[in-house]
Structure 1
Amino acid sequence: MSEKQTFPAAAARLTQTLASATSDGNDVKSAINWFLDLLPGAANEEAAAAMESLAGVFETGSVENAVNAIMLCGYLVEKGYEGKHFIGALERLTIKNLDIAEPLLKASVTVMETTDDEDEDPYGAVDKMRETVATEHPDQVKADDWLEKIYPCLVSTYSSDLQLFNKGKALLYDRVKPYIQVSNACSWLSTLFSVLFNEPILVVELSQKKAFTGTISGIADNFQLQLLLMSIPEFGDAIDAELTAVVDGTGPQDGEASVAGKWDMCTWPILSASHKESGNSDSDHWIWSEGSPEDIEPLDGRRVILLKEPSYQRGLYVQRSFSTLPASIQIEKWLSEEQLKQWLDKMQ
């Protein structure tokens, strides 16, 4: 290799290779390998310059090379570099492709909602419809395929920076939410944008009569919520620090372990007189693990999480949905017996 062995030289060669119409697969692979080999020694400003340079390929390179450039930027974010250097260009392209793909996405939702499961598989019906669209409107299918390829970069970038998250949510949440049934890209972005930050909570452990007020941030689902609650030592038998690190984002994304759930998590109406008089099942007010904290019913401005003795043992797999998104429960104060009674009286 004749080029000087520096990261900026590797980044320049990579951008040039991805932008060239004459580069073949071997050229691209060689340039990417050189870039990645020298990445561990790259300074922040060098990585920033590389991302800005790669962003120039997003729209000018071939589709395959543009996707390579986008995914490399996402990889840099996952290595701790800031995504602000390319996210604007990627957002513009995402909106452009959403505009093009939207008729296909709308038609797919219509097919899903109108196909009878007994007569035909809805997903199979969508696939058939897409075959027709691919012939009549190939640009729509290409735009949808592009979104499916690049959304992990968007997810990693928005997960890593709250300011970028808020901007992306304002731009995209309402656009992607209607299509979660028919698009992995829309589903994952919608799940991410439903995550709450600095959200006030009240947690009550009913058997121990312990309760605190605080806030939650970055929790993607209620599996993660219960595991984080299980890491609080005041509730006893806390999960170990290694598993906590998986759940709060300071460790690997997957702990390759499962633990027994400690509680039935419930919303506050389970204690209400109207619920007790109705004779309905307590499960009507369970906080289901597959849901998200956004679904938890609030009372007086706080989402209330009641922790009851488990009705049966559940296994919770120790992992988190978003690798670059830190999650936390911040405790403001533990409640006195009288303060807890006041809250319980409100619920009852």
Structure 2
Amino acid sequence: MRILVTGGAGFIGSNFVHHLVEHTDHTVTVLDKLTYAGNLASLEGLPTERVEFVKGDIADASLVDELFGRHDAVVHYAAESHNDNSLNDPRPFLDTNIIGTYTLLEAARRHGIRFHHISTDEVYGDLELDDPARFTENTPYNPSSPYSSTKAGSDLLVRAWVRSFGVQATISNCSNNYGPYQHVEKFIPRQITNVLRGERPKLYGTGENVRDWIHADDHSSAVLTILEKGVIGETYLIGADGEKNNKDVVESILTELGQPADAYDLVTDRPGHDLRYAIDSTKLRTELGWAPRYGDFAAGLAATIAWYRDNEAWWAPQKEATEAKYRASGQA
């Protein structure tokens, strides 16, 4: 197949491109605007005869139409995704997550192309810390930030284009990813790189907020499974049973790097900070036969720490500007 990957120079998009090259014979075109979160270094070493890069905006209708015309499938990762940024300036999230997705769906409609939309568990809002429930495909949407509300909107656009226009699309909502090539503004790589630089990790509030962590390679394998086996019009939740609160994650990072487990600082909490996310991925596992490789969060975290330790040249250019932004917001 010829697969177009939007946002393929970003974190989970680039991991998916690596996964396709390693596990399939497909050829890949990456479409990426190369905002601050996109990094061509994340695609280095991939075979040029199988991976093409196109710099461009998913809201550029003429470019999108030309690319859709020469591909068999599209996997749509491109999104503005950092909650803190959405609270400071929501407009880019509307432009990319809503208008960009609309532009892609219209091209998919014209060309009759297979379309898979990547989304997030944050569209469901949050759960109480002591609630035994998990999100399922039937959980009502209840987004709480400009980021999650625009992702919820893009999901609804996909569903409408399937029902109204017969677009051949599926959706996946995934829990929090971690792994190689993640920008250092994000929680896990920020803490790892702080420790590697001899600085103390930073923890919002009291660190009790719970996330359901999944390694990016497991996310990639799930998306490929949905692309190959998923039922058109269906939504699949992707998770690896990795619930951990932020305090436990920071302490695990410090311990893995040989530091005292309490060598971190508490900083001002994020406004509207969701309490807990938890994914029930039963549908994906039972109907499509998917299972995660990293069933043990500790093993996946250790592999991620090793990657950042070995790839300082990749993350160091981002680090100072990122920390300057956090200092300016009082969260350093």
TM-score by length of 1: 0.23
Q: Which has the higher contact order (CA 8 A, sep 6+)?
A: 2
- Bigger proportion of residues as helix: 1
TM-score by length of 2: 0.24
- Specify the structure having the higher radius of gyration (Cα): 1
